[in-house]
Amino acid sequence: MRAGLGKGLLLALLVLAGGAGTAPAAGGGRENLNLPDAVRGQFLADMRAHLGNLDDIVAAVAAGDFRRAAKVAAFHMDFGHKTWESLLARGMSEEDVLTVRRRFMEKAIARDPDLNVTDPGDVDAAKRFRVLAIRFHAAAGRFAEAAWFAYDPPSLDDHRRVLERLQEITAVCRECHATFRVRDD
Ligand code: HEC
């Protein structure tokens, strides 16, 4: 019974690996971030939360509720979303928090020359990771604004624009996963 299950699982994994196409082999070429155990556990939990956020966003877009999608991206797609949550808790309007968040990102990007590198190969792994993390937050912010300021109900054009912005987020998920890992296997 157990052996049967094991074989089935192995087959499923092989099929998945075969279907992945461009996915790198385990570890292959990806840089290990070498996180301490405690940090790694929290990091992976945050990552699983991001997959949940992405699912919530897709569900909200499919339901035509673009404002709900905007809120998930703006207020939860951050490695440190506490600031936005506390501004909301203190009574700042969602629209104002969106604007503050965008300005903060623009300033962070303008201030840090590493974030404008044209060849990321020139900077060390920690900086490249930071570049990708900030790009991720910036993409989430651009998505949130596009979704927030869409017509209600959203037009066909709104759908197209918002899906383009959503793909800009998933492109960064993909790029970071192709570049870094936190485990050896
Ligand atoms: C700045 C880098 C970066 C970004 C952006 C990023 N990730 Fe990750 N993610 C990682 C790394 C590194 C790992 C560990 C991969 C490994 O060791 O194989 C990971 C792992 C994961 C895991 C596995 C969690 C587990 O418990 O094993 C999930 C799920 C995940 N990411 C989802 C996402 C989603 C969804 C997005 C975008 C919405 C995203 N990530 C964006 C770097 C990133």
In a domain, 20, yes or no: no
Ligand 1 atom showing the smallest separation from residue 182 Cα? 17
In a domain, 141, yes or no: yes
In a domain, 149, yes or no: yes
Domain span holding position 158: 33-181
Ligand 1: which of 30, 33, 47 to mutate, judged by most atoms within 8 Å of the beta carbon? 47
Under 8 Å CB-to-CB from 126, ≥6 apart: which residues?
A: none
User: Structural domain tally of the chain?
Assistant: 1
The mean pLDDT of 139-160, rounded to a whole number, is 93
In a domain, 27, yes or no: no
Distance 21 CA to ligand 1 centre (A): 18
Q: What is the pTM of this model?
A: 0.80
pLDDT beyond 50 at 12: no
In a domain, 63, yes or no: yes
pLDDT digits (tens, 9 = 90+) for 52-104: 999 999 999 999 999 999 999 988 886 556 688 788 899 999 888 888 887 88
Is any ligand 1 atom within 6 A of the Cβ of residue 137?
A: no
In a domain, 6, yes or no: no
